[in-house]
Amino acid sequence: MTQCYRGAMMAAEYFPVPLKKIVVDSVPNFDLFIRQKDRYVLYRKAKIRFEHQALNNLMDNRIDSLYVSKRDLELYERYREEVRQGQEEIYGKQGFDGRFVDPVEVERYHDILDNYHVVDHAMFKPGVEVDFKVFYHEETDVLPAEDFESKLRGPWELTVPFAPTREIMIRNEDKTAYRDFVKGVLDEAMGGPPKQQAAALREMSKIVIKDVLADPRSGEGIKQTDEAVGSLVEFILDNETSFYSLMKIQGHDYYTYVHSMNVCTFSVALGTAMGLPKKPDLEWLGLGAMLHDVGKSMVDSRLINKPGRLTEEEFKMMKDHVQMGYNTLKEHHNLPEKVLEPVAQHHEKLTGIGYPHGLKDSDIGLFGRISSIVDIYDALTTERSYKKAFSPFEALSFLSKTRDDYDKDILNQFIVMLGKQMEKETAAK
Ligand SMILES: [Fe+2]
Ligand SMILES: [Fe+2]
């Protein structure tokens, strides 16, 4: 019986159901289908619990509608009726994973993202003087980090940095003071242990790319980003086996500047593993990867961190970040076309299902291919307001399920590279 569901069926036999109508942890008693081009393919048989993982997978594949056979219309309507009765209260506020989302909390969360900058505690040695205030970030709150500050200012016997379990932030208006402070740490770290250097380089890159995101037209911003990328490339070439220290995971939230920095680091490391020369390839690849999401600064920040599913209209606006980023860089800066490749192509897929142009196969360049793998890997392994982070293993198994979208050789190299890094990390513990 089920067999005949697979394969091409007439569109008239199915009706679309927006994903948000299928409630997490419910058990729909009808089959669910997905549409692939003009075919309807059985996605989930009836009476299987629709768990978080299913929702995450669909969302990561940018699927926002499922289909139900018209024969099951009555079953579907009864299901919706039950859901409405049982969940009327939270229905209007259901976040993507079905968790309750309070609009006031959402507003506070956005305020924090707009007004604070996340910093790495590894920058702070006990007893160091700082002329800015530090805060702890706790979900939708920021609290003065008094105990942390007292360790900075007061006499302290430890000589290693202390690691608070909470994310540390500074106010945006203190960014210049923090930048000067990081510069001092960076100068001190040069020639020191690679881990210290990595942390300082990472902090510096986060600041410069954040400035570019705030004003992508600024020539000074691009110049400083280019310099920061140059230092990262040097570091990765000198420390090929320990570049992973640049990827130190901090915090739980998604910040475009942290993501940009991660995509740059992974891309350069992957390019290095593939044997690309430093000049101009690695430097251009690194700069393009750092700038790849610059167009996000032109999309409403409320959309980027919206704790819920994007509507079709919102998703369209979100997709515009590619073209807007590319156009702005092209118009205001004289950058080689190769640098712009990760910007233009990081959401394209070899199968032609990507955006903005639905490019296929050889239309997608080497830098586009590298950045598309790295971009999705970093997105999957970062926690978002609507989903838990995937472990590296889960992210790689997800990528291998959709491997036709990516360059096989590059994906294999990426897996090998991550495997080596993880081995090293485990050995170091
Ligand atoms: Fe993007
Ligand atoms: Fe991205």
Q: What is the pLDDT of residue 99?
A: 45
What average pLDDT does this structure show over 373-389? 80
Q: What is the pLDDT of residue 37?
A: 78
Ligand nearest to the CA of 254: 2
Rounded to the nearest angstrom, the distance between the alpha carbon of 301 and the centre of ligand 1 is 14
What average pLDDT does this structure show over 68-76? 90
- Residue recorded with tokens 């009706």: 15
Rounded to the nearest angstrom, the distance between the alpha carbon of 200 and the centre of ligand 1 is 26
What average pLDDT does this structure show over 385-407? 81
- Which residue, 338, 339, 340, 304, is CA-closest to 320? 304
d(CA 340, CA 391): 30
d(CA 308, CA 405): 26
Between 151 and 128, where is the model more confident? Answer: 128
pLDDT interval class at 5 (50, 70, 90)? very low
Q: What is the pLDDT of residue 160?
A: 53
Least confident of 247-256, 343-352, 417-426: 247-256
Q: Which long-range contacts (CB under 8 A, 24 or more apart) does 61-64 make?
A: 61/402, 62/315, 63/19, 63/34, 64/18, 64/19, 64/309, 64/310, 64/312, 64/315
d(CA 125, CA 101): 38
pLDDT interval class at 90 (50, 70, 90)? very low
Q: Percent of the chain at pLDDT above 70?
A: 85
Rounded to the nearest angstrom, the distance between the alpha carbon of 61 and the centre of ligand 1 is 14
Rounded to the nearest angstrom, the distance between the alpha carbon of 259 and the centre of ligand 2 is 7
d(CA 392, CA 424): 14
pLDDT interval class at 399 (50, 70, 90)? confident
What average pLDDT does this structure show over 141-156? 76
What average pLDDT does this structure show over 81-99? 45
Is the Cβ–Cβ distance between 207 and 149 less than 8 Å? Answer: no
Residue 2 has pLDDT above 70, yes or no: no
Least confident of 10-19, 94-103, 206-215: 94-103
- Residue recorded with tokens 């020369």: 277
Ligand nearest to the CA of 371: 2
Rounded to the nearest angstrom, the distance between the alpha carbon of 321 and the centre of ligand 1 is 7
The three-class DSSP label of residue 168 is strand
pLDDT interval class at 294 (50, 70, 90)? very high
Rounded to the nearest angstrom, the distance between the alpha carbon of 129 and the centre of ligand 1 is 38
Q: What is the pLDDT of residue 214?
A: 93
Ligand nearest to the CA of 374: 2
Q: How many CB atoms lie within 10 A of CB 209?
A: 26
Ligand nearest to the CA of 295: 1
Q: What is the pLDDT of residue 337?
A: 97
Between 249 and 410, where is the model more confident? Answer: 410
**Which residues line ion ligand 2, judged by CB < 5 Å?**
293, 375
- Residue recorded with tokens 């707009």: 114
What average pLDDT does this structure show over 388-393? 78
d(CA 269, CA 233): 8
pLDDT one-digit tens code per residue, 340-354? 999 999 999 999 999
Rounded to the nearest angstrom, the distance between the alpha carbon of 138 and the centre of ligand 1 is 27
What average pLDDT does this structure show over 312-338? 94
Ligand nearest to the CA of 355: 1
Residue 325 has pLDDT above 90, yes or no: yes
Residue 116 has pLDDT above 80, yes or no: yes
Rounded to the nearest angstrom, the distance between the alpha carbon of 114 and the centre of ligand 1 is 19
What average pLDDT does this structure show over 143-156? 75
Rounded to the nearest angstrom, the distance between the alpha carbon of 349 and the centre of ligand 1 is 13
Q: What is the pLDDT of residue 241?
A: 66
DSSP secondary structure of 110-135: HHHHHHEEEE-GGG--TT---SS--E
Rounded to the nearest angstrom, the distance between the alpha carbon of 293 and the centre of ligand 2 is 5
Partner residues linked to 41 by β-bridges: 34
- Residue recorded with tokens 């037209």: 217
DSSP secondary structure of 254-270: --HHHHHHHHHHHHHHH
State how far the alpha carbon of 147 is from the alpha carbons of 104, 134, 135, 150, 163, in Å. 28, 10, 10, 5, 12
Ligand nearest to the CA of 375: 2
Rounded to the nearest angstrom, the distance between the alpha carbon of 231 and the centre of ligand 2 is 21
Is the Cβ–Cβ distance between 392 and 381 less than 8 Å? Answer: yes
What average pLDDT does this structure show over 412-416? 94
d(CA 422, CA 265): 16
Q: What is the pLDDT of residue 79?
A: 83
Least confident of 106-110, 152-156, 319-323, 411-415: 152-156
Least confident of 97-111, 202-216, 221-235, 357-371: 97-111
Q: What is the pLDDT of residue 137?
A: 86
CATH number for the domain formed by residue range(s) 190-428: 1.10.3210.10
Rounded to the nearest angstrom, the distance between the alpha carbon of 347 and the centre of ligand 1 is 6
Is the Cβ–Cβ distance between 407 and 373 less than 8 Å? Answer: yes
In sequence order, which residues have a C-beta less than 8 Å from that of residue 383 and are 6 or more positions away?
A: 252, 253, 254, 389
pLDDT interval class at 100 (50, 70, 90)? very low
pLDDT one-digit tens code per residue, 260-272? 999 999 999 999 9
Q: What is the pLDDT of residue 251?
A: 47
Domain ranges of the chain: 2-91, 101-173, 190-428
Output the furthest CA–CA distance in the chain (Å, rounded): 75
